[in-house]
Chain A
Amino acid sequence: MEINRRQFFGIAGTMAGGALACKPKKTQAARTLKAPPDPYGCLMDITACVGCRKCEEACNRVNNLPPPQVSFDDPRPLERKRRPVVTAYTVVNRYHTGKRDQRNQLIPTFVKVQCMHCQDPGCVSACIVGALTKKDNGAVHYDASKCIGCRYCMVACPFQIPAYDYHDPLTPKVHKSTFCYHLIIKEGGKPACAVICPVEAITFGKRRQLLGLARQKIKNDPGRYLDRIYGEHEVGGTSWLYISGEPFEKLGFLDLPTRPIPHLTETIQHGMFRYMWAPLSLFAVLGGFMWTFNRKQITGDSEPERKEGSI
């Protein structure tokens, strides 16, 4: 180590001082919910859905997705539980929960699945380049031009929604519901699925009003609905909301915590890296150790031990 005493103290001291000056006076308060104040949302009334798959068809058309292998008029795909994939951003699944009609026939229940457009999304927090963003209108928006394809968003998503172009060698994309971002930014625009639904099972509007509407419906017809709005509190709330007459657990919905997904990681990251206090302090401490344990070499008091000190 060929460096004189003054140089060493100068640089190390500056860093130590910087670290101390930057150290926050108190530990950061708990992370607050990061969510747009007045986003749009969709309320799906599961009791109304008849499983016609018109929403799947509209979604396919508006996103220019490839034509389906089985026509959207064909109910056969309902026989298995599907997930959104690269070629279909929304799918309807059929469940038999054991409810029967007067003639003792099982009554099917249909659930539309798509990106929930979380209020405080895990994927947005995870994305290494900010290709995923939560827009003020509620949409979780994907910008393929920034994406590097690390797929951390897929690890982060608690609803297991993003699908990946594993067959594309060079320009694969993450695929998920866009909330018809390009339509809803225009005045009066609505997502294609909400527009086409023939039984009006999907209502598009401000999330706040939709929550009111859902509560109203539940209150007016407690025999028809369970007293729960799925998406009101799950992972900090989602833009898509569901009301149902049957327990959500029986309809493929996950039991999720109310804490937003990014809570723990962001608390740790911002706690450690606020003003870079932790790395800078560590740098200063290590610099101190280096000075203490290598003083002879650094000041050059003793025999030149250059070979030992240098890498």
Chain B
Amino acid sequence: MSAHAKPAPIEFKFWTPGVMVMVAFMVTGLPFVIARYVGGLAAVTNLDNTHPWGLWIGIDVATGVALAAGGFTTAALAHIFGKHQYEAVTRPALLTAMLGYTLVALGLAIDVGRTWALWHPIIYWQPDSVLFEVAMCVIIYLHILYIEFIPIVVERLKGKISLPGPLGSFNNTIEALLELADRILGKVMWLFIIAGVVLSCMHQSGLGSLMLIAPTKLHPLWYTPILPLLFLTSAITVGYPMVVFETTVATSSLRLDGEMDVLTPLTRITIFLLGIYMCLKMGDMVVRGTYVYLLDGTAQSKAFLVEMLVGVIIPWLMLISPRVRRSRRALFIACTLIVLGVVLNRVNVFLVGFQPPYAEKAYFPAIGEMAVTAALIAGLMFIYRVCVTYLPVLSSRPQEVSS
């Protein structure tokens, strides 16, 4: 049986213990969100005047955007560079990106002081601001992701619209609309695919430029003029490992075929990309002479060493071995380390490496911040689960009983 039939909804019991855990996390986060809108940010966060950005920016926004990069890297590979053998992972990666960016927008909405004014950048343009560029790209890209997702929904609904009772008279109209959407999108989708890649490159690097506005506050191990390039490279690098990570998690928990025939070649590209990132990071350290900070024993130097060793060097050495790339478990570990490395990098740039003057105490996230972040991530996983259950996203077929 071919492992790559057409993508189809999966047949698996929905309310598994894992799904219950997700719901539990979502429910736990809710009171903290309510508290934030009753008592202000002070009620649930440890933010202060010297630490204006915390976990929600470091994880929900910066890391969320980086880890959603699988959406544009797989689209580029399969649709632009014509490597159609990777089609199987484009839909789940697209879904992750769409949900990831939705989470970014939600996280940001909770974090900004005036949630109701979140749309202001659309009319009050400020092109000097890096944040403005990032915001515009993210707004447009989020819409592109939704547009790219429409055909999947259309594919599911086409020919199956039968509204109950009096609404039944709209059936034909809706069918016609779906048909129209499908036809138009089929013609213009290439525009959106390329635009999605361009916008991703713009705001992934833009996120790296954000902290360049604080030359006196960001630790020299991370403050480098090539920070935007490092952010872009690491985002492109983490795209495929993230696909491996989530495909492995999804296929093992849904008892589907592991898709190793796609994942193994996919990570060969990662050796090259991660290698470039590693060279850039190390070259930058040598050129700027920041290795003097490496062994000074501060939290920052330790965080940098962990980020480089665990997140870059070890997984790179692992991936070189063909044995690792063929082993489902070893490949999963290597890819998880790369994902972790990017998480650590974003946390280091936005939180650990941020050393404001006059700070009375160091920042550490409050319970409320962690609960809301956990709730958002659980929410993302929950909606992912709903989507793969009802929409044709995953191409993988159930494992055969004998295997």
Interface residues of A (CB under 8 A from B): 1-3, 7-8, 11, 83, 85, 122, 124-131, 146-152, 154-156, 158, 160, 162-172, 254, 256-257, 259, 261-262, 264-266, 268-270, 272-273, 278-279, 282-283, 286-287, 289-290, 292-294, 305-311
Contact = CB atoms under 8 A, between A and B. Distances in A.
A172 B228 contact: no
Given A125-B129, A311-B148, A149 B113 contact: yes
B383 interface: no
Contacts of A156: 213-214
Given A160-B357, A269-B209, A283-B195, 5 more contacts: A2-B187, A149-B117, A167-B39, A272-B202, A292-B82
Contact of A1 (B40, B118, B148, B189): B189
Given A1-B189, A128-B135, A160-B358, A149 B114 contact: yes
Given A160-B49, A167-B40, A150 B91 contact: no
A126 B194 contact: no
Contact of A3 (B91, B190, B198, B356): B190
Contacts of A2: 186-187
Given A128-B121, A129-B124, A168-B113, A294 B213 contact: no
B80 interface: yes
A169 B128 contact: no
A95 to B, nearest CB: 14
A89 to B, nearest CB: 12
B126 A130 contact: yes
A44 B44 CA distance: 40
Residue of A147, A278, A289, A310 with most chain B CB atoms under a 10 A cut-off? A310
Contact of B186 (A152, A165, A170, A310): A310
Contacts of B293: none
Contact of B197 (A169, A254, A286, A293): A286
A7 B191 CA distance: 12
23 contacts: A2-B186, A128-B121, A128-B129, A131-B124, A147-B120, A148-B118, A149-B114, A150-B112, A151-B53, A154-B52, A155-B354, A158-B214, A162-B49, A165-B113, A169-B37, A169-B40, A169-B43, A172-B40, A172-B113, A266-B128, A272-B202, A273-B133, A283-B194
Contact of A163 (B49, B116, B151): B49
Interface of B: 6, 36-43, 45, 47-50, 52-53, 75-76, 79-84, 87, 90-91, 94, 111-118, 120-121, 124-133, 135, 148-149, 151-152, 185-191, 193-195, 197-199, 201-202, 209-217, 225, 228, 354, 356-358
Contacts of B91: 311
B198 A169 contact: no
A148 B79 contact: no
Looking at B39, B190, B202, B217, which has the most chain A CB atoms within 10 Å of its CB?
B190
B79 A294 contact: yes
A127 B213 contact: no
B88 to A, nearest CB: 11
Enumerate the 4 nearest inter-chain pairs by beta-carbon distance, A residue then B residue, closest first: A149-B113, A293-B82, A151-B52, A166-B42
Given A310-B189, A311-B193, A129 B121 contact: yes
Contacts of A125: 128-129, 213
A27 B63 CA distance: 32
B194 A287 contact: yes
A167 B42 contact: yes
A149 B112 contact: yes
B355 to A, nearest CB: 11
A308 B42 CA distance: 51
B39 A169 contact: yes
A256 B228 CA distance: 23
A125 B133 CA distance: 12
A126 B354 CA distance: 16
A266 B125 CA distance: 15
Contacts of A308: 84, 87
B79 A128 contact: no
B126 A155 contact: no
A85 B49 contact: yes
B126 A310 contact: no
Contacts of A1: 79, 186, 189-190
A11 B212 CA distance: 36
A132 to B, nearest CB: 9
A257 B220 CA distance: 14
Contacts of B216: 158, 254, 256-257
A202 B270 CA distance: 61
Contacts of B90: 311
Nearest to A149: B113
